[in-house]
Chains A and B, each alone.
Chain A
Amino acid sequence: MKFRYLPMTDKDHHQMLQTIGINSVEELFSDIPKSVRFQGRLGIPEAMDEYSLLRHMKALSGKNRSTDQLVSFLGAGIYEHYIPSVVNHIIARPEFYTAYTPYQPEISQGELQAIFEFQTMICELTGMDVANASMYDGPTALAEAASLAVSVSKKQKVVISRTVHPEARAILATHAKGLGYEVVEVSHREGVTDLAELQTIADPQTAAVIVQSPNFFGNIEDLAQIEKIAHQHKGLFVVSANPLALGLLKPPGAFGADIVVGDVQPFGIPMAFGGPSCGYFATTKKYMRRIPGRIVGQTVDEEGARGFVLTLQAREQHIRRDKATSNICSNQALMALAASVYMSALGKQGIQEVATLNINKAHFAKQRLAEVPGVEAVFDQPFFNEFVIKVNRPVREVNEKLLAQGILAGYDLGQDYPELENHLLVAVTEIRTKEEIEAFAKGLEVL
């Protein structure tokens, strides 16, 4: 059988054997002890021709009910947004997607400049001095922020609000176990961080106070108050933020955040079952040389022309090995590019417009759903594009009933918060129409 990705011909084969001075390719493997040689054929399915593969993949994807068939009010960290067509056209350019990390700047100026522009856009949105080239995702960026705080403060306690995404807290717990620091969680009260409890938990041993705003319930946290508590004992103030909300909301940098992290998935990246998305990591000049991952800097070439390079590499694992600031090696460059194209397409005005649309639709939906008998709006807080409603039966039942009508109703908060049984987290982005929100309300009415 011939394979279209393997160009070697019989003639090549023959000539190459002669050049190497062997009689068969098998000789090249003679250094592998017989006892560890794999005998026989791998037990995986037989090769498929391209057309059969396409049919197979279409059949598999067809077993999923996508948001082309369902109306989704699911958010909780991954959102369905409008993606301008240009985004996919740009990231599908092979000069971008078939390249490696830009180690050779002379032939990687395109990627390097695109990352430099991404870093700038992230700084603009977060109000921070410096951003890196991207992280695996928002939750892992948050864990890296905690590691940085522990490392620079030489303190071993990280305080995090329970209003932070449960998966981000789970990943933080795994990281904390690895590096041996302690994580203490602070309760929520009225849908935001319990400030009184935070005040008692944050102490001189605290390396960082971490909150998310808009938080997991969609509510906007009181960053001004939290900043005071975080900095009271010289800990770092870390904020995780949906960057779309920062199109309108006062940026964490303006509240004195030391590190701002999050996920740019809302910026032109499809949901794709949760990945790949793309984390961002921004901080102040003070911690510039402690950032994890790649950073691009501007410089000049031998003739004085502006150019870009990977920089501050003395932080990184390929130089510092076990003394590196992080073990991160790759980033999510192509997804960062998607986000850059999105941010450029929306621009200064569009980002505000889309954020406003999210606020309007979500506020309308919250009000409309609360009118349904048996549904109660909870948490009277300013919020962005997500909110919580309480229903009069298990969320699982509500989700099943609405799914039968082609609606994904939302996220069951009882899974992560036992005290929030029968609470549903609903996301409403700019693409949901008034009719769809009405249909959702009617679906709840007939329950």
Chain B
Amino acid sequence: MGKEKALIFELSQSGRVAYSLPKSDVPEATLPSELLRETPAELPEVSELDLVRHYTELSRRNHGVDNGFYPLGSCTMKYNPKVNEDVARLEGFTNIHPYQPESTVQGALQLLYELQQDLAEITGMDEVTLQPAAGAQGEWAGLMMIRAYLEKRGETNRTKVIVPDSAHGTNPASAAVAGFQTVTVKSNEKGLVDVEELKKVLGPDVAALMLTNPNTLGLFEEEIQTIAELVHEAGGLLYYDGANANAILGIARPGDMGFDVVHLNLHKTFTTPHGGGGPGAGPVGVKKELTPFLPKPIVRRSEEGRYYLDTDLPDSIGRVKGFYGNFGILVRAYAYIRTMGPDGLRKVSEQAVFNANYMMRRLEPYFDLPFPQHCKHEFVLSGKRQKKQGVRTLDIAKRLLDFGFHPPTIYFPLIVEECLMIEPTETESKETLDQFIETMIQIAREAEENPEMVQDAPHHTIVKRLDEVTAARKPVLRWQKE
């Protein structure tokens, strides 16, 4: 494999094709010439084999879960089951149109209905919408429901959403898009929400508190009940960011913790593939008081057992996405839940948490561990010690690439200096965890004895470190024909 790979445009040769279209069996029609392009769009012209080789080579320059360990914290890079890919491609699922009569899509509606039910049970909520395309869209939809609920009660003065300083960046961004101001509340020395600080910001202007539990440090908010009571007493609602739900399946449910709204990332906890950045799915569950505000339509089942799309929701926040969400992704998540069942899902969380704690304890002697209590499905280390040796967390991440590992999430959460956030997931074997641990120990040793080795990494990837500063200063965002 060469270091540089030609762009598909650079492979183009006039006259080559990679398609086969039906011959026209109808008379030709023409549109007024002033509506037509003057020059054709410069799309590549390649043969089918050229095309296949191009993308095959691109795929070889990419690392996925199937290539190797991917302990990217808060992203839950677990195995994406193959059978789910197969069932999502059944023609009865792929070749149906969203506007077909309901009588012709009863199987699809049944699947959506059952998935709504399953996710409601798993999260302890009353109803679920499957419409949001991603976690961030779920957050926004959930906050819009909170807003509609408060407005219905005449509480339009509630304009603030509280987020902990350890929150995902999408939380404050989603709050802003839903028309709220965000207030940040500090974490305490244990890495948890500081209840005293929370009390200070709670008041009649607070709409909601957004919380990830376990939080982004991988820690369970032990005082969740107190927090829930305080927020509810102040007249606010509790929003659960489900990015970290892989720790709690069958163990604790957001609904039982006092949360009013929950989103889940099916592409994290429920094994749907990340696809290189999407498509995902971000269903939202709500408690009874909020069900009138759900996006429409909702799938329901009539007494006679017929499934239908209910659009009769006068207080609904409206639509958040086209049609019924990312259906193909929902099929995969459904298949996963059916594969695991209640005992399987519980084991998933137990083993995800078990793996994370094992790694944390084995790495503890070599890296700073800012929060020493048991973690949940992920944990954070600090590269402070290595920084003193001149090795940054970024360098450690790049050195891991030389060993075929995807690095952990780095420099997040923002409250931990030189942060490394590690989430092994339950689908990795102990041997894999051990290999990664040994590699991390070796890198810690290199930082002490031979820091250049780490600072200059990666050494074995197809390209070396890339100049991101110039990329942003002088953006080249497309290929141009010479």
Q: Are the C-beta atoms of A95 and B21 separated by less than 8 Å?
A: no
Q: Which of A119-127, A194-202, A439-447 contacts B (4 or more CB under 8 A)?
A: A119-127
Q: Are the C-beta atoms of A110 and B61 separated by less than 8 Å?
A: yes
User: Which residues in B have their C-beta under 8 angstroms from that of A25?
Assistant: 350, 353-354
Q: Are the C-beta atoms of A96 and B276 separated by less than 8 Å?
A: yes
- Pick the residue among A84, A220, A271, A312 that contacts B97 (CB under 8 A): A271
In the assembled complex, the Cα of A352 lies from the Cα of B17 at a distance in Å of 13
Is there a chain A Cβ closer than 8 Å to B195's Cβ?
no
Chain B interface residue count, Cβ-Cβ cutoff 8 angstroms: 202
User: Which residues in B have their C-beta under 8 angstroms from that of A178?
Assistant: 140, 144, 147, 177-179
Say whether, besides A107-B62, A299-B468, A360-B24, A100 and B72 are in contact (CB < 8 Å): yes
In the assembled complex, the Cα of A309 lies from the Cα of B142 at a distance in Å of 32
Q: Are the C-beta atoms of A273 and B96 separated by less than 8 Å?
A: yes
Q: Are the C-beta atoms of B320 and A171 separated by less than 8 Å?
A: yes
- Pick the residue among B22, B34, B97, B354 that contacts A431 (CB under 8 A): B22
Interface residues of B in 434-482 (CB under 8 A from A): 458, 461-468, 470-472, 475-479
Question: In the complex, what's the smallest C-beta–C-beta distance from A380 to chain B, in angstroms?
Answer: 13
- Pick the residue among B94, B111, B170, B249 that contacts A60 (CB under 8 A): B111
Q: Are the C-beta atoms of B173 and A322 separated by less than 8 Å?
A: yes
In the assembled complex, the Cα of A32 lies from the Cα of B376 at a distance in Å of 10
Is there a chain A Cβ closer than 8 Å to B201's Cβ?
no
Q: Are the C-beta atoms of B26 and A434 separated by less than 8 Å?
A: yes
A115-142: contact bitstring with B at CB < 8 Å (1 yes, 0 no)? 0110111011100011101101111100
Q: Are the C-beta atoms of B461 and A359 separated by less than 8 Å?
A: no
- Pick the residue among B107, B122, B374, B398 that contacts A63 (CB under 8 A): B107
Instruction: Determine chain B's interface SS by DSSP, over half rule.
Output: loop
In the assembled complex, the Cα of A177 lies from the Cα of B429 at a distance in Å of 48
Q: Are the C-beta atoms of B96 and A272 separated by less than 8 Å?
A: yes
User: Which residues in A have their C-beta under 8 angstroms from that of B462?
Assistant: 106, 109
In the assembled complex, the Cα of A403 lies from the Cα of B102 at a distance in Å of 12
Q: Which of B220-228, B284-292, B381-389 contacts A (4 or more CB under 8 A)?
A: B220-228
Q: Are the C-beta atoms of B91 and A100 separated by less than 8 Å?
A: no
- Pick the residue among A270, A321, A329, A346 that contacts B134 (CB under 8 A): A329
User: Which residues in B have their C-beta under 8 angstroms from that of A94?
Assistant: 64-67, 80
Q: Are the C-beta atoms of B319 and A170 separated by less than 8 Å?
A: yes
Q: Are the C-beta atoms of A382 and B31 separated by less than 8 Å?
A: yes
B342-360: contact bitstring with A at CB < 8 Å (1 yes, 0 no)? 1111111011011101100
User: Which residues in B have their C-beta under 8 angstroms from that of A286?
Assistant: none
Q: Which of A85-93, A225-233, A371-379 contacts B (4 or more CB under 8 A)?
A: A85-93
- Pick the residue among A93, A100, A250, A363 that contacts B59 (CB under 8 A): A93
- Pick the residue among B25, B52, B101, B136 that contacts A317 (CB under 8 A): B136
Q: Which of A7-15, A154-162, A204-212 contacts B (4 or more CB under 8 A)?
A: A7-15
Q: Are the C-beta atoms of A174 and B318 separated by less than 8 Å?
A: yes
User: Closest chain B residue to A297 by CB distance?
Assistant: B471
Say whether, besides A64-B93, A346-B19, A276 and B279 are in contact (CB < 8 Å): yes
User: Which residues in A have their C-beta under 8 angstroms from that of B362?
Assistant: 19
Q: Are the C-beta atoms of A357 and B61 separated by less than 8 Å?
A: no
Say whether, besides A46-B341, A273-B97, A97 and B224 are in contact (CB < 8 Å): no
User: Which residues in B have their C-beta under 8 angstroms from that of A82?
Assistant: 21-22
Interface residues of B in 162-177 (CB under 8 A from A): 168-170, 172-177
Q: Are the C-beta atoms of B477 and A36 separated by less than 8 Å?
A: no
User: Which residues in B have their C-beta under 8 angstroms from that of A31?
Assistant: 219-220, 222, 373-374
Q: Are the C-beta atoms of A330 and B136 separated by less than 8 Å?
A: yes
Q: Are the C-beta atoms of A28 and B353 separated by less than 8 Å?
A: yes
Question: In the complex, what's the smallest C-beta–C-beta distance from B376 to chain A, in angstroms?
Answer: 8
Q: Are the C-beta atoms of A311 and B475 separated by less than 8 Å?
A: yes
Question: In the complex, what's the smallest C-beta–C-beta distance from B101 to chain A, in angstroms?
Answer: 6
- Pick the residue among A60, A129, A307, A322 that contacts B172 (CB under 8 A): A322
Say whether, besides A29-B251, A124-B41, A249-B36, A136 and B29 are in contact (CB < 8 Å): no
User: Which residues in B have their C-beta under 8 angstroms from that of A278?
Assistant: 279
User: Closest chain B residue to A21 by CB distance?
Assistant: B361
User: Which residues in B have their C-beta under 8 angstroms from that of A68?
Assistant: 91, 95
List the count of A-B residue pairs having beta carbons below 8 Å apart: 694
Say whether, besides A5-B81, A60-B110, A344-B18, A352 and B40 are in contact (CB < 8 Å): yes
- For A324, A343, A351, A433, which residue has the most chain B Cβ atoms within 10 angstroms? A324
In the assembled complex, the Cα of A92 lies from the Cα of B86 at a distance in Å of 10
Q: Are the C-beta atoms of A348 and B42 separated by less than 8 Å?
A: yes
Is there a chain A Cβ closer than 8 Å to B427's Cβ?
yes
In the assembled complex, the Cα of A133 lies from the Cα of B68 at a distance in Å of 25
User: Which residues in A have their C-beta under 8 angstroms from that of B397?
Assistant: 104
Q: Are the C-beta atoms of B17 and A347 separated by less than 8 Å?
A: yes
User: Closest chain B residue to A165 by CB distance?
Assistant: B322
Q: Are the C-beta atoms of B467 and A66 separated by less than 8 Å?
A: no
Question: In the complex, what's the smallest C-beta–C-beta distance from B81 to chain A, in angstroms?
Answer: 6
User: Closest chain B residue to A328 by CB distance?
Assistant: B136
Q: Are the C-beta atoms of A102 and B277 separated by less than 8 Å?
A: yes
Is there a chain A Cβ closer than 8 Å to B79's Cβ?
yes
Chain A interface residue count, Cβ-Cβ cutoff 8 angstroms: 206
User: Which residues in A have their C-beta under 8 angstroms from that of B346?
Assistant: 41-42
Is there a chain A Cβ closer than 8 Å to B46's Cβ?
yes
In the assembled complex, the Cα of A311 lies from the Cα of B474 at a distance in Å of 10
In the assembled complex, the Cα of A433 lies from the Cα of B397 at a distance in Å of 56
In the assembled complex, the Cα of A26 lies from the Cα of B81 at a distance in Å of 28
User: Closest chain B residue to A52 by CB distance?
Assistant: B338
Say whether, besides A6-B347, A271-B95, A301-B466, A359 and B63 are in contact (CB < 8 Å): no
Is there a chain B Cβ closer than 8 Å to A389's Cβ?
no
Q: Are the C-beta atoms of B340 and A66 separated by less than 8 Å?
A: no
Interface residues of A in 1-51 (CB under 8 A from B): 1, 3, 5-9, 12-13, 15-16, 19-21, 25, 27-33, 35-38, 41-48, 50
Question: In the complex, what's the smallest C-beta–C-beta distance from B291 to chain A, in angstroms?
Answer: 17
Q: Are the C-beta atoms of B338 and A45 separated by less than 8 Å?
A: yes
Q: Are the C-beta atoms of A324 and B61 separated by less than 8 Å?
A: no
A53-64: contact bitstring with B at CB < 8 Å (1 yes, 0 no)? 110111111111
Say whether, besides A45-B341, A139-B321, A297 and B477 are in contact (CB < 8 Å): yes
Q: Are the C-beta atoms of A332 and B321 separated by less than 8 Å?
A: no
In the assembled complex, the Cα of A102 lies from the Cα of B468 at a distance in Å of 13
Q: Are the C-beta atoms of A330 and B95 separated by less than 8 Å?
A: no
Question: In the complex, what's the smallest C-beta–C-beta distance from B9 to chain A, in angstroms?
Answer: 7
User: Which residues in A have their C-beta under 8 angstroms from that of B353?
Assistant: 25, 28-29
Q: Are the C-beta atoms of B92 and A107 separated by less than 8 Å?
A: no
Is there a chain B Cβ closer than 8 Å to A394's Cβ?
no
Q: Are the C-beta atoms of A349 and B341 separated by less than 8 Å?
A: no
Question: In the complex, what's the smallest C-beta–C-beta distance from B308 to chain A, in angstroms?
Answer: 14
User: Which residues in B have their C-beta under 8 angstroms from that of A236?
Assistant: none
Interface residues of A in 236-277 (CB under 8 A from B): 246-251, 254, 263, 270-277
User: Which residues in A have their C-beta under 8 angstroms from that of B220?
Assistant: 29, 31-32
Is there a chain A Cβ closer than 8 Å to B415's Cβ?
no
User: Which residues in A have their C-beta under 8 angstroms from that of B458?
Assistant: 106
Q: Are the C-beta atoms of B22 and A430 separated by less than 8 Å?
A: yes
Q: Are the C-beta atoms of A100 and B277 separated by less than 8 Å?
A: yes
Question: In the complex, what's the smallest C-beta–C-beta distance from B286 to chain A, in angstroms?
Answer: 16
User: Which residues in A have their C-beta under 8 angstroms from that of B347?
Assistant: 3, 6
Is there a chain B Cβ closer than 8 Å to A114's Cβ?
yes
Say whether, besides A78-B98, A271-B98, A273-B93, A332 and B278 are in contact (CB < 8 Å): yes
Q: List 8 A-B contacts (CB under 8 A).
A: A36-B253, A68-B91, A96-B275, A104-B401, A109-B463, A117-B9, A330-B274, A332-B277
Q: Which 5 A-B pairs have the closest CB atoms?
A: A274-B323, A61-B92, A47-B341, A63-B107, A334-B275
